Amino acid sequence: MAQAIKKQALGRGLSALLKDPENDIKSVLDKNADKVVGNIVELEIDAIEINPFQPRSNFNEESLQELATSIKELGVIQPITVRKTDFNKYQLISGERRLRASKLAGLNVVPAYIRIANDNESLTMALVENIQRHDLDPIEIALSYQRLIDEIQLTQEQMSERVGKKRSTIANYLRLLKLDPIIQTGIRDGFISMGHGRAIINIENQDIQTSIYQKIVSQNLSVRETEALVKNYQHSLKPKSTSKAKTNSFAIPAEANKVITDYFGAKVEVKIAGNGKGKISIPFHSEEDFNRIIKLIKG
């Protein structure tokens, strides 16, 4: 919690810096630009305009309202990204859905990453350096990876080389961003681990995700127990066969078995398989007995 308060205070401090006419940062070379690049800044929503060249025309109102409700409870988990166009004026690059939902939630400010002129390499360096820190939670790391993809257009292979991590490791972090926002917050606040998150992500239904998350927290489940819970849920979704396998097998009446035994004068064994096929075994004790049975068969 202390970490979140510290970040929030930092965001407000940077916001004040950007609204100071004497510190109007226009380039990465300007004074205090290093404090902005790679950091989260709280911006007034009214200072942000939608990019007219990349409008997203269709927004599901119900989905937006659900996101607005989530933002009221948890805040904006993933900051938007804007481009600085003038003094205290910004243009949206990514996150229009989050921006619209923030307005519905009644927010006046929204956390944002600010892109300024010629900051590409500086931003890359700042993000890579940020990822190397040891006090980051898994969601913060995932968001940094996502920014390198969205804003710098790095591939996972290129990121692997830059940050010294395996490509599979990067992919595992990025998958966490598909979790329900409540679960992402749970990871950030330390209620569950990244291992728990990786197990839950195998379930697509976010309502089921949150249900399992609540069980993990309330019952203090381990990662292994969570994996078993997810596996059992997935197994329950598989269609169950209701029809029994057809069989052609049948039972030999005791009377029929007695008739065969009496006829050959020996204890005859009859076996039947599930497909209805079978065999009759007639024992004999000598060559003489064998010849006797042959004569009976010949009639």
Task: Note if 62 is an active site residue.
Answer: no
| Active-site hit among 96, 227, 255, 287 | 96
What number of other Cβ atoms are within 10 A of residue 98's Cβ? 22
Backbone φ, ψ for residue 180 (5° rounding):
-55, 140
Q: How far apart are the first and last CA of the chain?
A: 98
Backbone φ, ψ for residue 280 (5° rounding):
-115, 125
Residue 30 one-letter amino acid: D
What number of other Cβ atoms are within 10 A of residue 78's Cβ? 18
Angle at 169 between CA 168 and CA 172, to 5 degrees: 85
What are the residue ranges of helices labelled H in 93-222?
Answer: 96-104, 120-131, 138-150, 156-163, 167-175, 181-188, 194-200, 206-219
Q: In residues, how long is the chain?
A: 299
Assigned token pair, 267: 């204890």
Catalytic residue numbers read 96
